[in-house]
Amino acid sequence: MSTTALGIVLVVVSTMVEGFGQVFLKKSALDVLRRHVWILLGVSVLMVEVLLYSGALRFLAVSTAFPLTAMSFVMVTVLSRWLLGEVVTPKRWLGVGLILVGTTIIMTHA
């Protein structure tokens, strides 16, 4: 695996992790009794995300890595629909599709 591919994998994994962190923070707003647990989980997961993204920056230019973090919008949308049961409108799914197209273009030219 090339260093560029490794950097891309690290960014993709970090965006996946960030999606879970955001969902955990949303759960902290919904579950008053266990709010502190969800906040602790959310912050802990986001700390892991920062470490993964920092690792990716060892292998990618920030001008490549940062636009790829837009995939976190995709992850948050998918996870909020799946885990929180939130309604996602067709326009939002279109936006998610456009983000995927844009990040794919960036990845193929990295």
Q: List the one residue out of 26, 13, 28, 34 whose CA is nearest residue 81.
A: 26
Q: Residue 87 and residue 40: Cα distance in Å, rounded?
A: 26
Torsion angles phi and psi, residue 70, rounded to 5: -60, -20
Length of the chain: 110
If you average pLDDT over every residue of the chain, what do you get?
A: 96
Range of the domain at 47: 3-108
User: Tens digits of per-residue pLDDT, 32-62?
Assistant: 999 999 999 999 999 999 999 999 999 999 9
Work out how many domains the chain is built from and give that number: 1
Residue 110 has pLDDT above 90, yes or no: no
